[in-house]
Every structure is written in structure tokens, then in C-alpha cells.
Structure 1
Amino acid sequence: MIKFKKLGLNEDILSMLKIQGITEPTPVQEQSIQLIKDGSDVIAEAQTGTGKTLAFLLPMFDNMSADINTIQGLIVTPTRELAIQITSEAKKLAEGKNLNILAAYGGKDIGVQLKKLKGNIHLVIATPGRLIDHLRRGTVQLDKLRTLVLDEADQMLLMGFKNDIEDIIEKTPKNRQTLCFSATMGSDVKKMAYKYMNDPKEVIIKKEQTTLKNIKQFLIETTDRRKQEDLCKVLDEDNPFMAIIFCRTKRRVDDLEMALYKKGYNCKKLHSDITQSKREKIMKEFKNCDIQYLIATDVAARGLDINGVSHVYNYDIPETAEGYIHRIGRTGRAGEEGYTYLFAAPKDKFILDSIEKKIKGEIPRKIL
């Protein structure tokens, strides 16, 4: 706790961290917290699973006051799952400070959200679409906002939320603090960040290949026709504790889930066409190990931090090498060993070459 104390966090926050067993700040937390507490605008780049969420939540809670009856903090994030995950972290910290949090995302009953907004809300955690909806209805006022966080900014731009984000920013005070957190900081993200930020401080946590050191990677050379059969062979051989199977599209997720379910595998699918209540139920079941295989798209699984995932299966090759790193980073966490399989057809050679170039090595081939 000494390092957290050195970052100037108050005793309430420190005791909440202690209860949760969090004793050492991660590099992104160590470099960001003091800057944010001091009121600086911050652009932070760090890989998934490095503690970005607490890096902005801790100083925000430290700076917020339960006595001020306005929305003081706003966190905008690309997916419902991430909004749920951040809300869960925020609620643990809020217990000691009497701060009220509203999670505003699509699929959740807007009537309930509107009713809650009539109360005293200090922090809003929202997806862009639902927040725009509230702003148009006049049910959310951001005129007294102190801190705006753009979380997973790269993904928000990739998903086409640029105009929504700009509309949201226009509704906030010019003197607000702006924090931009992302796993990758491309030119589009930087361009947008610098347009709306005031002399931002950059925190860049070097991408370490050590994130892959606990992960044993394998490549299965296959064909589209044979892929499903090869996947089943590997699943039967591994019988993993908890696994995520990635497909490229919602349709592919639907088809694979139906095929595996018919073969008797304990699996459920996760993508954006599934109702919000069902998605929350599925995530809860998966975290509780009631489901062995979660079959998902990249967007649905973006940023999800689930302990205990022992295997990741890339049923469809990701579109980019960066996407591959994101996917396999779901396993091999907290010092545990993880296993990943990439199923590649001859047509995938170009992307496969870029992946192997990115990880600086050839993925070992596994013969079935």
C-alpha cells in the first residue's frame, strides 16, 4: 500500500483497495494517477489487462465530492460489456465515499435510467449511443462536468463513434479535464485527442512481449471445410477449464455455437445482437464457470477481464496482428499459463505472416 499512498490517494480509497487485496500499482497506474489528481489532461497508451480502469477511476474518485449534486465524472466506453465491467469496479470504490453511479448503455431499460437520473448522480459510465439519447432528451446535463474519460478510444473510432464523441464533447465545459485511454494510440486517436485536450501529458507503457511469455501458442493448418472438425479434435484433446472461441462475424458465431451445442459441448455465444439482459446472464455464468466455452466476436469480448480463461481458440483468424495480440491476451494472466490455437487456411497466409512478424517468431505448427 506504500506506493499507492505515495501517489497521494486518500485513506478511504486506500482502505477500499486493501479490502480488494490490491497492494501494488501497475506501471500505467503509477504514471497516471498523480497527473490526473493534479488536474492534467492525460493520453495513456497501455495494453489490455494492465490496469487502465483503476488508473483513471482512483484519481477521479479521489477528486469527486458527494456534497456536490452534479455529474462530476463521465466515462465513455465503446461496448455494453465494458460499461458493465467499469461500473462494477467503480461501485466497489464508491462504497466508502457515498458517490452515486449511473450506468447508461443500450439494451437496459431507459425508463429505469431516467428515474435514477432524477436522483443525485456523481458519475456516469456510458456507451456513446445511449448517452447521446440522454443528451437529446435533456435527461443528462454535463455543464458542470469536471472530468471526461474516453476509454478504449481506438475501438470507439474503429466502431464509427467519432461524430457521437464529438457531439458529447461539445456538451461539456471547455475547462473540463480530459483523459484518453487506449490499448493502441493511432494517428486518428491522437488527432482527436489533441483537438479537444489542453496540453495533454502522455503516458506510454511499452508493449512488452512478456505478456506472451506465459502463453503457449499453436497453429493448426486447416481448410474452411475441415476447420470445424479440427476444432472439435483440439477441444476433445484439451478439455480446457474455461475457453473463449473467437469468430470473425456474428453469423459465424451463431453457426458455430449451434454446431457445437448439437455435438454436446457446454457453450454459449456472445455478440451485439443478443439482448442485454441475456448477455449479462451469459457473462455471469461464464465467470462462475457454468459455461466451458464462450463463442464470441472481437467487439463483444473487447476489454473483458475474466480470470481463469485457460485457452483461447482463434477459429477465424483475426483481421490484424494487433487483433491477434488482443485476443490471446485473454489468457495467461496473473502469472497463470495459457494456451492458444490459431486455425489458418491457405487464404489466411498474408495475415498469418503479419502476425508472426508482429510477435517476432513463427507460431509452432501442431499436427492433428
Structure 2
Amino acid sequence: MNFRELGIKEDTLNILNKNGITTPTPIQEESIIPIKNGKDIIAQAQTGTGKTLAFLLPIFENISRDINSTQVLILSPTRELAIQITEEAEKLNETKNINMLAAYGGKDIGSQINKLKKNIHLIIATPGRLLDHLDRGTIDLSKIKTFVLDEADQMLLMGFKNEVEAILSKTSKKRQTLCFSATMSSQVKKLAYRYMTDPMEISIKKTEITLDSIKQEVVETTDRWKQDALFKVLNEDNPFMAIIFCRTKRRVDALEEAMAKNGYNCAKLHSDIQQSKRERIMKSFRNADIQYLIATDVASRGLDISGVDNIYNYDIPETAADYVHRIGRTGRAGKGGYTCMFIDPKNIKTLNEIEETIKFEIPRREI
């Protein structure tokens, strides 16, 4: 099935083609028509399967410039994800010219309030900042036609259940509700069903991203020699774009300083870095102006960056799930990827747990 058969109009097809998107992913194939037809949906699909476009494409088909009220609200658990959704929406908005607002913390609320003085058709927000606007009376959700809850499992994990319910209570009962989640826990289902009318369940089978399309290796070293080992591996691989994960902000800072001193084209990303700077760094990385992004797990969830060939786990992740999330930044949409993890003797227990979970003994790399 192609996008035209899914009812996507010509001007949007041209935008997709321009961005190299020609074939719908399974989640897009299953979701676009029901969403366009106004159905409530609860969809399970892992990060990197194209779920943002699965809801944005039908939303852009249905939204109208001529209605002077907010028609769509997309709620995201993190700023990073909100920024990413906004970037995708801006591309699709090239021909639509609807008024959009991204409302998240770290951005000046005054400029958001000014923007709200003109009619806004689509809002992409994080819960805290949206509630702030609702309390100030600067946003009116009473005429919302479509409400999207993205990364619902993360939303609950981060303790936003009450905020989500408070936001939903301010929307029209007649709205269409779309819930997207990487996992379909009973908590997510409970929340979804409470606010939905006869929802259609869509579940995209988990493709074994960790095994099928990603080559995994481990380098055994010691904490003392880890930096040397990493530099040797980077010099051998010289990837087009790579993310290097560290356990703490302090370790990110130290590694970034050492890499910059050694002439690597790199930048760091963690929660202590000012929001505006984080956005600039992400933009440069997406544009491939930066070769190495050194990050904490802030960057490992929800960030869909095409072109990341390699993931280096400078520090072993705390859990097997974190490992899967981290290495899922590469090998996207069926393309091949490579991941290398540096371990010292005290990491063996965690490594065994990871191998047990992914049912695979990760080969050792000699350097």
C-alpha cells in the first residue's frame, strides 16, 4: 500500500518525497485511514517505526485553517520528543500554513502567550507547561477535535497521570482520542479506555531491532584504559554519525572535553545544558554537522535521528531495557547499524543479564 492509497493528498506526497519518505511503515499503514475517519485508536509501536507521521499525516489531512479554534492537541512526556514532533509537523505545514504552537518548559512563556493571541490550530505540548497555560487562561481546549497522547507508557512512568487527566477534563467529550505507546501495559490500557469511545487496537509486532539489523560487539577493557580503547575503535570505524552513551552527566562532560582535545568533531547532550543550546546541538547533529554526540540516557528515548550508523556504550546501561533503547537509535527502518559496548570486570553481571534478555551472546571485539 502507498501513501496515495491511504488518502494522502498530492501536496503532502510531494513533501514526503522531498524528505525521502516513499513507503508507509506498518504503523502508518494501519493507522492513517482509521484516524482520518475519526476513530479512537490505541496503538502499540516501538520508537523508530514512524509513529509520529502515523498520527501527523491524517491530522494534517483533517485540520482546517478556516476554523478559528484549537483543533488538535498533541501531548508528549519530554521536551525532546515535543521538539521532534514539532519539526515533523513544520515540514508537513509547508503547504497548509496552519498556526502551530510548541509549548514546553525551557522556552520563554511570554513569547508563547503572545503567539496565542492569534488563533492556534495545533498545539504540541508537555504536561507541565500546558497546565501552566490552562491556569493562566491562555489556552482553550474546549473545541479540541483530536487529542494525541504520545509515549503513553513514558507519560505514566514519569508520573504524569494526574496531569494528563486534568488536561483531558478541559477538552470536549466529543473529541477523537489517539494513544500511542511503546508498551501496552494494563496501566496504559486503563487510562486509554477510560477516555476513549470504542477504541480500535493496533499492535505492530516488535521487529527484533537488536538482532536482525544491528551488529553488536563488546570490548573488554578496564575503567583506566576505557578512553584509549574508545579512541582506537572510533579511529578504526570513523562512522558518519554516532552517539556515545555515558552513565552520568559528569562522565559526559569529561569525555567530551577529552574528545574535543583530541580533535574529534563532537558535542555533549544532557539535562544540565540549557534548553536552547540543546535544541541547537540536536539541529547540528541532525544536519550531520557534528559527527559524535556524547549523551546521557536523556537522548536515548524518543529521538529518531536518521543517519546514525553507530552507537557506542562507553558505560554499560543499567538494565537490558536501557541497552535496547540505546542501541535502537541505529538500524532504523530496517537499515543496518553497529553498536559497541565497553565493559570492565565489574560490569560482567549486567552484561550477562543483557545477553540473557536479548537471547544472544554478544561477540567480543579485539582492538
- Alignment-derived partner of residue 196 in structure 1: 195
Distance in 1 (CA, whole Å) between partners of 2:6 and 2:333 is: 23
CA contact (8 A) 1:253 1:297 kept: yes
Distance in 1 (CA, whole Å) between partners of 2:13 and 2:266 is: 39
- Alignment-derived partner of residue 359 in structure 1: 358
Shift of 1:48: 1.6
Is 1:114–2:113 an aligned residue pair? Answer: yes
Note the 1:54-65 alignment, pairs <5 A: 54-65=53-64
Give the secondary structure class of the aligned counterpart of 1:281: helix
Q: Which amino acid aligns with 1:82?
A: L
Shift of 1:107: 1.6
CA contact (8 A) 2:300 2:325 kept: no
Note the 1:1-368 alignment, pairs <5 A: 3-209=2-208, 212-333=211-332, 336-368=335-367
Q: Which stretches in structure 1 are left out of the alignment for 5+ residues?
A: none
Give the secondary structure class of the aligned counterpart of 2:332: coil
Distance in 1 (CA, whole Å) between partners of 2:248 and 2:155 is: 18
CA-to-partner distance for each residue in 1:325-363, whole Å, 9 max, x for gaps? Answer: 221122233554321111223333343233223322111
CA contact (8 A) 1:212 1:329 kept: no
Distance in 2 (CA, whole Å) between partners of 1:139 and 1:273 is: 29
Give the secondary structure class of the aligned counterpart of 1:219: strand
CA-to-partner distance for each residue in 1:3-56, whole Å, 9 max, x for gaps? Answer: 323323344434443444433211001111112122221111112211101100
CA contact (8 A) 2:179 2:192 kept: yes
Scaled by the length of structure 1, what TM-score is found?
0.92
Distance in 2 (CA, whole Å) between partners of 1:211 and 1:46 is: 15
CA contact (8 A) 2:209 2:328 kept: no
CA-to-partner distance for each residue in 1:190-246, whole Å, 9 max, x for gaps? Answer: 232223222221111111125643321101223334333322232233222211001
Scaled by the length of structure 2, what TM-score is found?
0.92
Q: Which amino acid aligns with 1:141?
A: D
Q: 1:146 to 1:11 in 2, by over 3 A?
A: same
CA contact (8 A) 2:48 2:333 kept: no
CA contact (8 A) 1:77 1:128 kept: yes
Give the secondary structure class of the aligned counterpart of 1:71: coil
Count of residues in Structure 1 that have an aligned counterpart in Structure 2 = 367
Shift of 1:266: 2.2
Tell which deviates more after alignment, 131-140 or 335-344.
335-344
Q: Which amino acid aligns with 1:77?
A: S
CA contact (8 A) 2:100 2:122 kept: yes
CA contact (8 A) 1:12 1:97 kept: no
Give the secondary structure class of the aligned counterpart of 1:90: helix
CA contact (8 A) 2:219 2:342 kept: yes
Q: Which stretches in structure 2 are left out of the alignment for 5+ residues?
A: none
Instruction: Please list every run of at least 4 consecutive aligned residues from structure 1 whose deviation after the TM superposition is greater than 6 angstroms.
Output: none
Distance in 2 (CA, whole Å) between partners of 1:265 and 1:17 is: 34
